[in-house]
Amino acid sequence: MRAMARRYILVKIVCDRRVTNEEFHEALINSTKRYFGELGLSRIDPRIVKFDAESSTAIVSCEQPATSELESAVALTTRYAETPMSLLVLRVSGTVKGAARRWK
C-alpha cells in the first residue's frame, strides 16, 4: 500500500520568550486536539520535522488532505502555559526542501 502524501508547513513562533521543541510540540498537539478531537488529531497526524529555537521556526508535517485543518489549529493557538504565543504559517510545500526555502 502506498503511503499517503504529506505536506510540510513552515511555522514561525511568535513569543516573548524562547520556546523549546517540547513546548512547541505540546502546544501544537493541544491545539489540534482541542479543535479537532482525538480522531482529528489521528487524521491530521502532525509531526515536527525540523525545529530551530534560535530563529523560532519549525517545519511541521501532516497528512495532505488535512492540511487546512492543521493550519487552522496552528492559527487558533494563543498561548502555552500562560505565555502568549502565536504561530504564523509562512509556507506550505510538498517537500521539506520546499518548505525550508523561506527558513531564516
Partner 1 sequence: MADLLSTAHYATIGLTVATGLLNERVRSMRRIFEEHGVNTVLRADFKPDSRTELLRLLRRFRNLYDVVAVRCVNQQVATVSCRDRRVDIVFFDVANRNLSFSHTFARLLRGAVEFNVVSDLLDQTDWWAFSRVHKAILVAREHHVKIILSSGARNYEMVRSPFQVSALAMTLGLTQEESIRGVSSTPLSIVRENRMKRAPEYVEQGVKIIIPSGQ
Binding site for partner 1 (CB under 8 A): 12, 14, 67-69, 71-72, 74-76, 78, 84, 86, 88-92
Instruction: Give the distance, in angstroms, between the CA of residue 61 and the centroid of all CA atoms in the same chain.
Output: 7
Contacts of 81 (CB under 8 A, 6+ apart): 23
- Our CA angle for 70, 73, 78, nearest 5°, is 145
Indicate the residue among 3 and 70 with the shorter CB distance to partner 1: 70
Give least dist CB 64 to partner 1, A. Answer: 13
Give least dist CB 84 to partner 1, A. Answer: 5
Question: Which residue do the cell numbers 493541544 mark?
Answer: 30
Indicate the residue among 49 and 89 with the shorter CB distance to partner 1: 89
